[in-house]
Each structure stands twice: as C-alpha cells, then as structure tokens.
Amino acid sequence: MNDEFYMDLAIKKAWQFLVLTYPNPAVGCVILDENGRILSIKAHKKAGFLHAEPLAILFALFSKNGEILSEFLRLYNQFFNTNFKNQNELENADLDAKFSYDFILKNHSNLLKNATAYVTLEPCAHQGKTPPCANLFVALKFKSVIISQSDLNKIASGGAKILKDAGIAVKMGVLNDEGKKLLEPFVSWQSGNFSFFKLAISKNGVATGGIISNLKSRTHAHELRGVLDLLIIGGNSVRTDRPRLDARLANAKAPDVLIYSKRDDFDKTIPLFNVPNRGVKISNSLCNLNAKLIMYEGGENLLKEMINHKISNLKWLLIYQSSQFKTGRNVMLDFSLNPLFQSKIDDGIYGWYELC
Amino acid sequence: MNDEFYMDLAIKKAWQFLVLTYPNPAVGCVILDENGRILSIKAHKKAGFLHAEPLAILFALFSKNGEILSEFLRLYNQFFNTNFKNQNELENADLDAKFSYDFILKNHSNLLKNATAYVTLEPCAHQGKTPPCANLFVALKFKSVIISQSDLNKIASGGAKILKDAGIAVKMGVLNDEGKKLLEPFVSWQSGNFSFFKLAISKNGVATGGIISNLKSRTHAHELRGVLDLLIIGGNSVRTDRPRLDARLANAKAPDVLIYSKRDDFDKTIPLFNVPNRGVKISNSLCNLNAKLIMYEGGENLLKEMINHKISNLKWLLIYQSSQFKTGRNVMLDFSLNPLFQSKIDDGIYGWYELC
Ligand SMILES: [Zn+2]
Ligand SMILES: [Zn+2]
C-alpha cells in the first residue's frame, strides 16, 4: 500500500475528534514498524491529553512487545494510584503526558528504530509541558516521517527541520487537500472564529417530533457543547422544546447560550436558564459575539435564516442522520453540501459538510 | 493491529461488489507479507473475473517486486493482444483467470512464503476453469489463512481442509457476524431468491422531481440492473416518469421488467417497451416469479405497499442518498433500518440496509 493509504487512516482517525480537541488542532498519527507492519492508529483526543504522536508511539511499543504494556500499567497505576487493567482501558484515558513521554524514552529498547510515522500535521517543535514531539522521533531513531500539512503556527513549527537535521527522511504534502480540510476549523479559529450548524434528521429528513438521533450521537453533541465558547439557538426552539442545552451526557460544562430572538418573552423557570455557571443572552444581533468556537443548534427556520440571509459566518454543517424513516414533514430547504467526512455512529451516520 | 482489523478491510472491499458478483458470492481478500505488511486488498468483482484470492495474490506480487508487474504486462499484452500500460489499468480489467493463475505459479519466486491471507469466505476447493484457490495458497507456501465464513456450498467446499493438510495455520470465524451478513444475499439466493428495494433520495428525504443521485450512483444502479433476473417497478412510476429502465450507463443488458399494476393501460410506445431482448410483463401478482435475483425500483407508494402489506419477500434496501437538501415533500413512511454497509459515492452516500 502507498503513502496515501496510511495517511488516509491517520486523517480519518483525526476527523473522529474534530473540534473536540479545541483549542488544539485535530491530528492523527499512524506508526509502521521497520517492515511496514501497522503498529498503531491514533489521534489527539482532547486538549491536555497526549499529542497524537506520543500516543501512537506508546501503543506501537505495546504492540511490539506485550511486556512494555504490563510495565506501563504497573508503573502508571503505582505512580498515579489508578487501576488500569488493560490496553482498552488506556485507550480512553487521559494519560499523563510527562509520565508517558518519559516512559517512552526509557523503555523503547530501539523497537521503533527505522520505523515510519504518518502524521496529518507537522510534529510540534515546541517545549510545553512535555518536550517536542519531533524530538521523540529523533530519540527513537525513526527512518521516515510522512506529513500532510506543515505547521504554520509560529510557536510550534520547526518540527520538520528537527527531523531532517537528525537524518530522518521527511516527506510533506501527502494527501494535501484532505489534510488541509481537516485543519480548516483550527485555521479559521486562529484567524477569528469557527462556526458550525448542528442538525439532527431522520433518514427521510424529519427534524421534529421528539428525539431523532441515537444516544451515541447525542453524547457526541454533548462532548462538543463541552468545548464550545457559545451555543446559539433560535428563540422558537426554546419556546417550543424548552431544552436544557447542557453537556450532561459527556459530564462536561454547559456552554454559554445566545438565544437568537427579537423578543424576550421566555419562561425563565425552564432548565435552560437555571444551569449553574452558564451565561444566557437574548439577542437578535450576531455581531461582536466575543466567542471563537460557536455551534448553532436548531431546525429548518434557524438554518434557513443563517444560510439565506448570510447573517452568520457559517461555513460547515454537522449532520446526525438516523436510519429511521419517520412520519412527518422534512426540513424543506434547497442547497447543496460537500461531504468532508462521514462515519457510522451506532445505527446512524454523522458527517461534517461544507456549504457549496 | 489484530485479525479483526484486516478482516474488516477484506469485508468492506467485498461489500463494494455486493450483488454485482451474481451468481457468485461477494468475497474479499487481504494479503500481508511475512512481516505483516499489507500487500493488497482485493475483491471478486464479477462472475467470470478472477476470484478474490488470485487477484489479491497477483497484486501482492506486483507490490513485492515491480519487475513482476512489468513481466505480467509484457506477457499478457503479447498473449491477448491487449495494451495495458500500468497497474491501474489492470485493476479494472477482466483478467483471464487461467493465464493469471499460471503466471502466479511460474513467477512467485517464493515472495509470499510465510505470508498471511484474510479471506471473507473459505477458499474454493473446486476445479473449475482454474484450479482451486486453496491450492494456490499451498503452492506459494502461505503461513496462515484467516477466514470469516466456511463455505457451505457442497461443490466448492473443502478449501480449509486442503490448507490444513498442507500445514497452513487456518483460523475460522473472524468477524463471524459481519462475514455472515455479507454472504446473506448469496445464501438467500441459493435457497430460493434474493430481493431488494432500490431507493434514491435527497439528504432531506425527497425522492421526486427529477434526477436525485449523482452519475456514479446511477452507474452503480445500472451495473446492478445488468445482473438482475427481474426488475419490478410500480405502474404509476411507469405512467408518470416513462423510464427506459435499461443498463446503458454500464454497457450491460437491460433486465426483464415486471410492471406491478392491476391495469394494463400503458403507452407502449415509450422506450421501456422497446428495448431489444428484454421481456416486459404487467401483473399485480408477485407469486411464482421464476426469478432468483430481483430488484424493486420505485418511490414511496411501491415501498409502502411492499413493506406494509408484506406481499414480497423483501428484506434489504439499497439507498442512494445525495448531499443535497431539495425543496419538496419527503418519502413519508415509518420504519427503522439496520445499516449493514454505508459508503461514500462521489458527493453522496449509498448503503445496504435491512428492515428491522
Ligand atoms: Zn506534539
Ligand atoms: Zn476460488
């Protein structure tokens, strides 16, 4: 298989955590051993969590030698007083970055000498809580690092130079268009803000009449709410559905809410107004929002207004679509979408689309 | 990565050619070299074409050694007076099975010694136009063959025994449920018939008002028409849309058509009735159809009748869904689907679903 095949795996993995990594970019990483065997496919999941590269390297080492996994579990549980039992439990854990980084340096036993990494974004050269990811590839004596996008961030960039200076073969621009699209929300956010519209519809386009999406879709939406700066919702949705708009399914902080409405005639006793530590504003202006990551939630009317009247800087849609045909009228609009990423989510699908 | 990861690649590849392989089952095959590197991911595409295993083996050899590709191109073009220039052109070609099989035996140079194959269905043990696929793995000295489904076909089965007798490690039942689902249309066809309903809708569920799906979707539908025993369509669709219902986009034979209608009041001058070598029947009975592979095409009314009145043995739906929101009323039914396979098709998606 060629470079594009492996980069595609890395990009698809990263899409699964798009926006959730805010304010970090979504990044995916695939590691092949010196013979070209896939050892791991990982992505950065959340700000504060391990970067994609050390996470992929850690699991690559586990896959090369089961004893490294046992040793990691033993030391980690001892040090942090945790009780992780196996690789699966580590998959979803917020592993300590510094500990994991040091563990890799001490325990790699040259098992990844001459290995190859595919990374959707140039590895960082920035000394933060942990040393730069680029240095990790150098220390482990990787043979080559294949990169889709170069890092334009002034502070973190320079990773490719570190790699090249150490004699690692670097190839840039593999699946360039796809890698760029993955990075677009981050770039947009950096230069101002990133706004997207969340819509949940049945297979035949019905957005009303009770819960539409499955639990996993709704949990994903709550995870997104947990990282937002602002959630915008239409006034009629609030009047009719009386939603809580918190992030309880993800155990995350409820986002601040802007109710897009001319009138302030809301029943203030509904849960929406009574979630602790959340601000609620009512306004029919979308100027000077002072928020960099914004999600619009709503149905036909709000979507229509945002698209047709171009009063928002809305570029992307996130659509959850169930596999149910539902009796009811569909969202009746007329516009075309360009699918950027689509994936199964339990018995439904969800996808990121740009307006075209 | 584990066995499930590679079997999943084989199964997903096979789904792409589901029904198109009729009267053969859809089969996928992935080959890893002795070090676990992926060499090829292939599927059986069409009856008469190479089985998945020799196709995957042939391309695995190309990937191991570019000179084998050059030699294949040279000999094949010379023997058949063709003009294939590269691997891409071979991908979509109807390669001669006997020639390819012999070429593999003469040119493998033990490059696949200790290799591993993942096959969605037990390799055949049946001497047809070519020797059994199982023998090929033996001749090339594969180390292990991982299989999802055992072959229940009396004539072709016994492949696993051939492999085991030669000392190849055989593992059965990997992704058993997924492999079984992939094989269901073939099993259903063997024991009577297989029927599915084809529906094309916009993102918001509109099935009417001109062409809905993109060209690639329509071409796929024409390829399906090319292998059908019978196409069933509702009388009203014929009266309103006056479709031709041929397979011109796939350069294939137009299927026989049954118009499901009580009345025979059709304008016989429309193209549907004037395609050479195709039978057209008008009937409101779906008993004794004398057809083993049947596709229903239509919109809301026909689908409703087939589902609600259970007058057909319909189990699966094939849905093409565009990425367009279209003004218009949606297909308004109430039932749930279980997605079996969903894939991007240009700017839309298509999927196989079972009613649940
Ligand atoms: Zn980093
Ligand atoms: Zn075979």
The pLDDT tens digits for A321-344 are: 999 999 999 999 888 999 999 999
Is residue A212 within 8 angstroms of chain B, CB to CB? no
Round to whole Å and give the CA distance between A152 and A206. Answer: 42
Residue contact A334–B325, C-beta within 8 A: yes
Any B CB within 8 A of A109 CB = no
> In sequence order, which residues have a C-beta less than 8 Å from that of residue B245 and are 6 or more positions away?
B225, B231, B233, B254, B255, B257, B272, B275, B297
How far apart (Å, rounded) are the C-alpha atoms in residues A36 and A85? 29
What is the C-alpha to C-alpha distance for residues A40 and A235, in angstroms, rounded to an integer?
46
pLDDT of residue A356: 82
Cross-chain CB nearest to A205 (options B32, B205, B339): B205
CB within 8 Å of chain A, chain B residues 149-208: 201-206
Nearest C-alpha in A relative to B348: A339
- Inter-chain residue contact A323 with B338, CB threshold 8 Å: yes
Quick one: closest CA in B to A332, which residue?
B327
Q: Does B337 touch chain A (CB under 8 A)?
A: yes
Residue with tokens 């990790």: A136
Give the whole-angstrom CA distance, residue A2 versus residue A116: 12
Tell me what pLDDT residue A5 has.
98
Nearest ligand to the CA atom of A101? 1
pLDDT tens digits for B232-263? 999 999 998 899 999 999 999 999 999 999 99
**Contact by Cβ (8 Å): A323, A354:** no
Residue B52's pLDDT band, with cuts at 50, 70 and 90, is very high
- Which sequence spans correspond to the domains of chain B? 3-183, 192-355
CATH number assigned to the domain covering B192-355: 3.40.430.10
Q: What is the DSSP letter of B172?
A: E
Greater model confidence, B139 or A334: B139
- What is chain A's mean pLDDT, rounded? 94
Provide mean pLDDT across the span B52-80: 97
Nearest CA in chain A to B42: A1
pLDDT score of B152: 78
Give the pLDDT of residue B48: 87
Which ligand lies nearest to the CA atom of residue B122 in the structure?
2
Chain A residues whose CB is inside 8 A of the B337 CB are: 203, 323-325, 347
pLDDT of residue A155: 62
Closest to A50 measured CA to CA, from A104, A88, A113, A106: A104
A344 and B342 within 8 Å at the Cβ level: the answer is yes
Chain A residues with CB-CB distance to B15 below 8 A:
none
A204/B330 Cβ within 8 A: yes
Residue B227 has pLDDT above 90, yes or no: yes
CB-based contact, A326 to chain B, within 8 Å:
yes
Residues of chain B with C-beta less than 8 angstroms from the C-beta of A319: 203
Please give the mean pLDDT across all residues of chain B. Answer: 94
Could you tell me which residue, A93 or B170, shows the higher pLDDT? B170
For residue B56, what are its two tokens? Answer: 């995957």
Which residue out of B12, B118, B323 would a mutagenesis test of the A interface target, given it has the greatest number of A Cβ atoms within 10 Å? B323
Q: At what angle do helices A3-15 and A176-190 cross, to 10 degrees?
A: 30
Q: Is residue A331 less than 8 Å (CB to CB) from chain B?
A: yes
Using a CB–CB cutoff of 8 Å, tell me whether A2 touches chain B: no
Find chain B residues with C-beta within 8 A of A205's C-beta: 202-206, 325, 330
Which pTM does this prediction carry? 0.93
| B333–A contact, CB cutoff 8 A | yes
Residues of chain A with pLDDT under 70: 154-157
pLDDT at A263: 92
| A3-183 CATH fold | Cytidine Deaminase; domain 2 (3.40.140)
Judged against a pLDDT cut of 70, whether residue B156 lies above it is answered with no
The answer to whether residue B332 neighbours chain A at the CB level (below 8 Å) is: yes
- Looking at residue B155, what is its pLDDT? 63
A-chain residue closest to B354, CA distance: A323
Ligand number, closest to the Cα atom of B153:
2
B154 pLDDT band (50/70/90 cuts)? low
Give SS3 for B227: helix
- Which of the four pLDDT bands, split at 50, 70 and 90, describes residue B172? very high
pLDDT, tens digit, 9 for 90 and up, residues B5-36 = 999 999 999 999 999 999 999 999 999 999 99
Residue found under tokens 């199982």: B134
* pLDDT band, residue B96 (cuts 50/70/90): very high
Of A326, A347, A348, the CB nearest to B334: A326
On whether any CB of chain B is under 8 Å from the CB of A20, the answer is no
Beta strand residue intervals within chain B, DSSP E:
28-32, 38-43, 116-121, 144-149, 169-172, 194-201, 230-234, 257-260, 280-283, 293-297, 316-321, 324-325, 335-345, 348-355
Contact B335 A324 (CB under 8 A): yes
Q: What pLDDT band is residue B209 in, cutting at 50, 70 and 90? A: confident
